[in-house]
A = this chain, B = another copy of it.
Amino acid sequence: MIILGVDPGTLTTGFSIVEFSRGRTTLLACDVIRNRSSRSMPLRLKTIYDALCDAIDRYRPDEFAIETAFYGKNAQSALKLGHARGVSILAAVNRQLPTAEYSPREVKKAVVGNGAASKEQVRYMLKSRMQLATLPKLFDATDALAVALCHLQCTTERRSDGRTKRSESWKAFAVNNPERVIRQK
């Protein structure tokens, strides 16, 4: 299984591609798509879209994962981020990839085991887990790697849950087994 993780931005979009095969996770790509600030927004969006389509065509990922945006930013920043997110998601959908979103907290919890971990802790764990000598310097690239690994972990956990028929919660159990729910009269 190959996963494309993306951390979008109008100036720098990080992307990372990881492959999980026979119990081993391999890093295929971890880089950034750069846009000059002098470039117009329409051309920046095309650069992001084209580069992600190229990466998809090259590495043929099976699924796509992206971080949910941080709503604390002001409306103008959120609008700009929305442009970059929109074209990133479109690249995935236009290449028929299933898409998933994870909050920064979910990503940190999956990678470090602590939803409030610092960026440096996330980088340390990525380097250790992927057994890499060096990591890309830019946080955008490693954030993309983190969201790809988070999705990989969630997907493999869901699959193993499916095999063992273990429900995640009572609510999920009730939904999946309606005949076993006794309703009070």
A residues contacting B by CB (< 8 A) are: 40-43, 45-46, 49, 69, 71-87, 89-90, 92-94, 99
A79 proximity list for chain B (CB < 8 A): 69, 71, 78-79, 81-82, 85
Could you tell me if A90 and B41 are in contact, using CB atoms closer than 8 angstroms? Answer: no
**Closest residue of B by beta carbon distance from A85:** B83
Distance in angstroms from A116 CB to nearest chain B CB is 22
**Closest residue of B by beta carbon distance from A72:** B75
A77 proximity list for chain B (CB < 8 A): 75
Could you tell me if A89 and B78 are in contact, using CB atoms closer than 8 angstroms? Answer: no
Could you tell me if A86 and B82 are in contact, using CB atoms closer than 8 angstroms? Answer: yes
Distance in angstroms from A99 CB to nearest chain B CB is 5
A86 proximity list for chain B (CB < 8 A): 45, 82-87, 90
